[in-house]
């Protein structure tokens, strides 16, 4: 049974990466990581712009809390 499970996992990874070549798969993974880093940097930049006055900082924190509760 364990062997069957492993086979399923392998099939799933193949579906995720259409390119059979090793380099192609690695490139896709690198791109995903880069995109993730870019998103993080953008988020930080936006926050920095917002947090220029204490009043804004409080409103941003409130909005973040509301977002967490809704999610």
Cα(24)–Cα(12) distance, integer angstroms: 17
Q: What's residue 25's pLDDT?
A: 65
Place of tokens 């998103």: 39
Q: How many structural domains comprise the chain?
A: 1
Given a cut of 80, is residue 69 above it in pLDDT? yes
How far are the Cα atoms of 16, 40, 51, 56, 71 from residue 63, in angstroms, in the given order?
Answer: 35, 18, 13, 11, 12
Q: Which of 42, 41, 39, 15 is nearest to 28 (CA)?
A: 15
Mean pLDDT score, 47-59? 66
Tokens linked to 58: 């409080």
pLDDT score at 65: 87
**Joined tokens for residue 63:** 């909005």
| Among 10-19, 32-41, 53-62, the least confident range | 10-19
Strands, E, within 12-60: which ranges? none
pLDDT band at 36 (very low <50, low <70, confident <90, very high): confident
Domain carrying residue 44:
2-70
Model's pTM, two decimal places? 0.24
């Amino acid at each position: 049974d364990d062997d069957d499970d492993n086979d399923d996992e392998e099939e799933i990874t193949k579906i995720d990466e259409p390119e059979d070549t090793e380099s192609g798969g690695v490139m896709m993974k690198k791109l995903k990581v880069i995109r993730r880093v870019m998103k993080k940097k953008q988020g930080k930049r936006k926050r920095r712009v917002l947090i220029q006055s204490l009043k804004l900082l409080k409103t941003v924190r409130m909005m973040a809390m509301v977002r967490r509760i809704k999610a």
